[in-house]
Structure formats: structure tokens, C-alpha cells
């Protein structure tokens, strides 16, 4: 009975979030490349902080009744490969609006599940900043930043303009963003952020 009730609640949440995201005008073609990049990087930050993998993302898709958009590992990989700065051309596909919204909902669902960890990490970040210390001086933040930078370098095309300092700043910025995305209105915040930043460079 509990599982049935949870499933019904997840479906209701998924439907209401989907309807809310439908209210926004779809991005234009100029915005799309930046949106695909940003969305993949938000997921990368969540992955490296919480140590989740594709199984957790697919489980979230099932719980949100989004398995038709993200049915398996290959589909998930191909969606993320739509990020234009990812290494390798094989398997890359065009990401459509519904698929992007599905990834937004999955990201926020998982961020909410790991909100306690995200909140703790952001709290440590604030404490360290107040003491004029570096994030690497804390074990949790240091491990996250190292994992983010290493995974970024493994998956993304080499760019001489991306220094370790820039990647560290990006990791910190995305960590703070994740706290907002873990809120009840996280899906709305993330979608609006993607649209807002789509005309800007990191």
C-alpha cells in the first residue's frame, strides 16, 4: 500500500512539474547548445558530489514516470552526449525540449533526495569563505572539487582556456546552484536558469 501511495504521489508531482515547465516558451536554436552543456554540467556536479551513477538516474526516471523519455543507460548516455563539448561524436543525438525537461526533473528529484549532503557542503563552503580559507582545505569539498575537475577533463574536449582555477570556480558555483535545485520549486529554478544563462558563457 505504501509503495502504491508513493507511486501515486510521484506521478502527481511529475505531472504537475511537467505542466509547469510547458508554460515556458521553448528555447531558440541559438540557445540550445549552451542549454545542453549547462544541463550536463549540473548533472556532473550532482554525480561527483553524491557519487550517484546512471542507475540512480534511471530509477528517478521510473519514479517520475519518465521512462519513455529515458528508458535505459544507452538512451541516458546519448542524451548527455548531446552536450557539444563532450568528447567523441559516436552516439550523439539531438536533444529535444521534452528530453531536456525530463533531465531537469530527474536532476531536481535526485538533488532533493541528497539535499542534506548538498546543504552540508554549501554550509562548509560558507564557513570556509568566512575564514578566508580555500575549499580544498575541507575534506568533503576537496574530494568533490577533485572529482568534478577530473571527471570534466575525462569527458569534455580539451580547452586550453579551462584552467584548474576556472574548473574549481565552476564546481563551486554549480554546488551552490544545486541547493536551489533541491527545493520544491527546483525544476522551475533550473529551467529558468538554463534559459537565462543560455546566452552567456561560463
Say what the pLDDT of residue 94 is. Answer: 75
pLDDT in tens, 74-92: 999 888 988 888 887 555 5
pLDDT in tens, 135-175: 988 999 999 999 999 999 999 987 666 788 999 999 999 99
Quote the pTM value.
Answer: 0.84
Q: 5 pLDDT band (50/70/90 cuts)?
A: very low
CA distances to 135, 146, 154, 181 from 83, in Å = 28, 22, 14, 20
Q: What is the 3-state secondary structure (H, E, C) of 72-122?
A: CHHHHHHHHCCCCCECCCCCCCCCCHHHHHHHHHHHHHHHHHCHHHHHHHH
Paired with 86 in beta bridges are: 156
In the numeric block, which cell numbers belong to residue 183? 527545493
Amino acid at each position: 500500500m505504501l509503495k502504491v501511495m508513493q507511486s501515486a504521489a510521484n506521478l502527481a508531482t511529475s505531472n504537475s512539474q511537467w505542466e509547469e515547465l510547458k508554460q515556458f516558451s521553448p528555447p531558440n536554436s541559438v540557445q540550445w547548445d549552451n542549454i545542453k552543456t549547462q544541463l550536463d554540467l549540473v548533472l556532473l556536479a550532482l554525480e561527483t558530489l553524491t557519487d550517484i551513477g546512471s542507475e540512480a538516474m534511471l530509477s528517478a526516471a521510473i519514479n517520475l514516470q519518465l521512462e519513455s523519455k529515458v528508458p535505459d543507460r544507452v538512451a541516458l548516455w546519448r542524451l548527455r552526449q548531446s552536450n557539444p563539448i563532450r568528447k567523441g561524436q559516436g552516439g550523439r543525438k539531438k536533444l529535444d525540449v521534452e528530453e531536456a525537461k525530463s533531465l531537469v526533473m530527474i536532476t531536481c528529484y535526485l538533488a532533493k533526495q541528497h539535499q542534506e549532503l548538498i546543504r552540508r557542503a554549501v554550509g562548509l563552503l560558507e564557513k570556509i569563505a568566512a575564514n578566508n580559507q580555500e575549499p580544498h582545505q575541507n575534506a568533503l569539498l576537496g574530494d568533490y572539487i577533485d572529482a568534478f575537475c577530473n571527471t570534466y577533463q575525462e569527458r569534455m574536449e580539451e580547452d586550453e582556456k579551462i584552467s584548474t582555477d576556472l574548473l574549481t570556480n565552476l564546481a563551486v558555483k554549480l554546488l551552490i546552484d544545486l541547493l536551489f535545485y533541491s527545493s520544491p520549486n527546483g525544476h522551475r529554478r533550473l529551467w529558468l536558469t538554463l534559459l537565462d544563462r543560455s546566452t552567456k558563457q561560463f
